[in-house]
């Protein structure tokens, strides 16, 4: 039987998810596995990876946890080589690993070289390394799906948010460059733009999680709400989507408002009222 929903079926597909041990990456790995894919999850810490692998294996899926630092290209090459060796192919790459940062970082003059590189390398260079490592394999097979993960900060500014906003803007442009270059070989690239989800990363990166007052649906995202769109972008159902951005944010970007933490300048407001 060939139903519409068969197009979403990922059996016999292999997906690599970086940062697959926690937060959004964990939910992506679980969703891809539940859609039938074999999953390889990568991250620096072994314990969270093992926990996710145990769940997947307990549910009857196949999962290979591989300790990897995406900022090290030799570790990234090893991750993709191992994945191909174990499952013979990689159909889907999800570049999700990253260091999360909200507003209210440091003033630009206090940011050190290593602080800048740390976030740019984890969020942007890591995605480049992974895409580079798998691109020829996907081209040779004539198919592949690359799913990058940006942020609303990749599309707008944030107060004292330099590395994160720059890296996530770069991820969008990396997606477009990949889409334009690899599309002709049957390899598509798209980009997720998550809103605010309660994860280890957002809790660590903010003194308190941002409130939902700027989210039109009136609440923060629940991590497992990211699963279905990743399955869609990994599946044949999205074959004609390439170079696109997919926001999953309760309408936050559509509303156009973002908290800046700035109080309006009183004098200026009064002057404006007088003219
Ligand atoms: N949650 C949100 O509201 C939100 C909003 C917009 C975008 N995002 C994006 O969504 C992605 C996932 O974030 P999250 O919220 O789920 O946060 P998270 O739970 O902190 O997840 C980040 C993951 O990336 C991994 N990671 C970080 N640096 C790495 C490195 N150098 N090498 C390998 N793995 C690395 C971490 O594992 P290890 O520490 O074990 O390496 C962790 O599993 C990030 O790209 C983030 O920017 C999240």
Contact 163, 122 (CB under 8 A): no
Residues 9-37, buried b or exposed e (16+ Cβ, 10 A)? bbeebbbbbbbbbbbbbbbbbbbbbebeb
For the chain, give the mean pLDDT.
Answer: 92
> 99-118 pLDDT, tens per residue?
998 877 899 999 999 999 99
Q: Give the chain's domains with CATH numbers.
A: 4-274 (3.40.50.720)
> 39-66 pLDDT, tens per residue?
999 999 999 999 999 999 999 999 999 9
Report angle CA 118, 121, 127 to the nearest 5 degrees: 150
Contact 53, 76 (CB under 8 A): no
Please give the distance, rounded to the nearest whole angstrom, from the Cα atom of residue 100 to the centre of ligand 1. Answer: 6
Contact 186, 91 (CB under 8 A): no
Please give the distance, rounded to the nearest whole angstrom, from the Cα atom of residue 21 to the centre of ligand 1. Answer: 9
> Tokens 């307990």 appear where?
58
Please give the distance, rounded to the nearest whole angstrom, from the Cα atom of residue 99 to the centre of ligand 1. Answer: 5
164 CA closest ligand 1 atom index: 47
User: Which residue lies with its CA nearest to atom 42 of ligand 1?
Assistant: 19
Contact 230, 146 (CB under 8 A): no
Q: Does residue 81 carry a pLDDT above 90?
A: yes
Contact 11, 36 (CB under 8 A): yes
DSSP track, 152-174: GGGTS--TT--HHHHHHHHHHHH
Q: Does residue 1 carry a pLDDT above 80?
A: no
- The residue ranking higher by pLDDT, 263 or 155, is 155
User: Residues with beta carbon inside 6 Å of ligand 1?
Assistant: 18-19, 21-25, 43-45, 48, 68-71, 96-100, 122, 126, 149, 151, 194, 196-197, 199-202
Active site residues: 164
pLDDT band at 266 (very low <50, low <70, confident <90, very high): low
Q: What is the pTM (predicted TM-score) of this model?
A: 0.94
């Amino acid at each position: 039987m060939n139903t519409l929903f068969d197009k979403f079926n990922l059996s016999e597909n292999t997906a690599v998810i970086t940062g697959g041990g926690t937060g959004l990456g964990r939910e992506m790995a679980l969703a891809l596995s539940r859609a039938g894919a074999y999953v390889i999850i990568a991250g620096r810490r072994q314990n969270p990876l093992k926990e996710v692998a145990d769940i997947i294996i307990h549910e009857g899926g196949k999962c290979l946890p591989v300790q990897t630092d995406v900022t090290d290209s030799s570790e990234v090459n090893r991750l993709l080589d191992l994945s191909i060796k174990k499952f013979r192919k990689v159909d889907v790459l999800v570049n999700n690993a990253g260091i999360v940062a909200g507003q209210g970082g440091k003033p630009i003059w206090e940011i050190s070289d290593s602080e800048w590189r740390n976030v740019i390398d984890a969020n942007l260079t890591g995605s480049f390394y992974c895409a580079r490592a798998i691109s020829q394999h996907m081209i040779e097979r004539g198919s592949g799906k690359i799913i990058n993960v940006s942020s609303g900060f990749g599309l707008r500014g944030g107060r004292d948010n330099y590395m994160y906003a720059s890296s996530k803007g770069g991820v969008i442009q990396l997606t477009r460059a990949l889409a334009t270059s690899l599309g002709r070989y049957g390899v598509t690239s798209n980009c997720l733009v998550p809103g605010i989800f309660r994860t280890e990363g957002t809790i660590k990166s903010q003194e308190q999680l941002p409130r939902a007052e700027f989210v039109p649906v009136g609440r923060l995202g629940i991590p497992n709400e990211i699963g279905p769109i990743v399955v869609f972008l990994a599946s044949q159902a999205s074959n004609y989507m390439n170079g696109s951005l997919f926001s999953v944010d309760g309408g936050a970007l559509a509303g156009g408002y973002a908290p800046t933490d700035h109080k309006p300048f009183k004098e200026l407001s009064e002057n404006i009222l007088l003219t």
